[in-house]
Chain A
Amino acid sequence: EAQVTQNPRYLITVTGKKLTVTCSQNMNHEYMSWYRQDPGLGLRQIYYSMNVEVTDKGDVPEGYKVSRKEKRNFPLILESPSPNQTSLYFCASRRWDGNEQFFGPGTRLTVL
């Protein structure tokens, strides 16, 4: 089954404790992306990647890091989480030239 998986689905952590949210896709997509979704603000892009070892900032990259060492994986790293990073996070992938973007199930993060 073609899908994007994220782990964990839920996470409660404390300020300053480094965390990683994993994302993996099995569709051989070149393009992968991370979004955060907050009430009233819709989906905002954090980082995206056009291919292995190619990443670029989205609209709200501050406080986040990503890496793309393999085509299928695109982890999101929060080196020092803060409460304003409490949000619902989505990973997504698509073909480099396509508009149909496949989203993961989401990761709900709470930073205390």
Chain B
Amino acid sequence: GESVGLHLPTLSVQEGDNSIINCAYSNSASDYFIWYKQESGKGPQFIIDIRSNMDKRQGQRVTVLLNKTVKHLSLQIAATQPGDSAVYFCAERTGTASKLTFGTGTRLQVTL
């Protein structure tokens, strides 16, 4: 069936460096792609989303890139901080009345 997946299960980044978390998706009919952050012991928290007709969207210290040609999504975090350490999930949604499908997650470890 359709699925959302991630390339790297764990990513270690030095504080101050930029982080890039990748995600491959298979459902070309998805309307939105969303990134969530889950800190230890907490529920996932929305970071940023991008509509399928866009290829880039920027937020505060984060940028999401969408490449529909190769069905690839990435989350870039600028100047990574210790508070960015968490598991990051990509998710996709098709239409307004539909569920989110989550990937399995990438753990980001920020080293000092």
Chain A residues with a Cβ under 8 A of chain B:
4, 33, 35, 40-45, 48, 50, 58-59, 90, 92, 96-97, 99-106
Other-chain contact of B43, A42, A59, A90, A96 (Cβ < 8 Å): A90
User: Residue of A at shortest CB range from B105?
Assistant: A42
Neighbour of A99 across the interface among B32, B97, B104, CB < 8 A: B32
Tell me how far the C-beta of A60 lies from the nearest C-beta in chain B, rounded to whole angstroms: 11
Number of residues on chain B facing chain A (CB within 8 A): 21
Total residue contacts A-B, CB cutoff 8 A: 52
Q: A42-B104, A43-B89 are in contact. Are A100 and B46 (CB under 8 A)?
A: yes
Residues of B within 8 A of A (CB): 32, 34, 36, 41-46, 49, 89, 93, 96-97, 99-105
Closest A residue by C-beta to B47: A100
Sort A-B residue pairs by CB-CB distance and give the 8 closest, nearest first: A103-B43, A42-B104, A99-B49, A43-B102, A100-B46, A45-B99, A97-B96, A42-B102
